[in-house]
Structure formats: structure tokens, C-alpha cells
Amino acid sequence: MQHHTKQRLKAGGRDLTLRLCTGGGVLLGLLWGFNNPPAPKKPPTCTTANCVGDVVSKSLSDGVWSVLGPALIGGAIGLAVALVIVLTLLRPRRGGGPSSGRATNLSGRWIQAKYDGRCAGCRRQIRRGDPIFHSPAPRRTLCGACVDRLTNRV
């Protein structure tokens, strides 16, 4: 299997893990909230004109929060579990990419250039026979000065 295919599969696995764990946590929280409604309270005695509206709004908000609260808590727990899984089992590789700016992960070998070309780092002209550093992943060739600069050997 090629390197970029493995990376795409890992990225898809991370995404799927986050979605399933978070969604599962929300769903379990909703089910728990529906199965465990708040205990009924003694109806208040009305002494003001707004009493009925206040009682209805209070009971509706209590009912919504009795379901929404566990759903949010379940989602947070699911997200925490997903992050633990992603960061321990499916963690992305660090460095090594062309945009990472980290040269300590250079992999490749020194060869003599077979063809004329340009350095991928500084765009300097490379002539046939020049010593170059060839990196297969990411595929690029670097002149000696760029390898020294990237590995901080200047």
C-alpha cells in the first residue's frame, strides 16, 4: 500500500472515530435523559396574574434541560474518548512533510545527479554529476547547501 493511501485511511479513521464517539455519546445522553425524567414537583399556588405562564415556562425549560444536559455531557465524554483514541492509536505523523519546516526527518541518500535540474529548496541549477540529496518521500532533490541549511549544520 502506498504511503499517501495509508495517510488518507488514517485521516478517515480519525474523522470516523470522532464522529462515532461524539454522536454515540450524544445519543446515549439523550436516551438517558428521556428514560430518567425529573421528579414531578408539587404544583405551585397561583397568587399573581402571570402564574400560569411562569409555571408552564419553568416546566418546559426543566423538561428540555433534563434531556439536553445529559446529551451535552454524553457528547463531551464521547469527544474525550475519541480524542484519546485518535491521539494514541491514530495520531498523525509529525514533521517530514515539505511544509513542516523540520529537516531532522530528512530521509534519502546522497547520489550524483544523472540529469540537469533544479534544487527543490533554493531552485539553484543542478548539473549532471553534481552531488545531490535525493529524498523519495516527499520526492525531491536538494543541493548540499540546502541539506546543510535544513539540518542546521550551517
Q: What is the mean pLDDT of the chain?
A: 81
| Single-letter amino acid, residue 67 | V
Model confidence at 101: pLDDT above 60: no
Answer with the residue of higher pLDDT: 64 or 97: 64
Instruction: Give the pLDDT confidence of 13-49 residue by residue, as tens digits.
Output: 888 999 999 999 999 999 998 898 877 777 667 777 7
- Calculate what percentage of the chain has a pLDDT beyond 90: 24
pLDDT range class, residue 79, cuts 50, 70, 90: very high
**Domain range list for the chain:** 3-38+57-88, 109-150
pTM: 0.52
Report the distance separating Cα 43 and Cα 41, nearest Å.
6
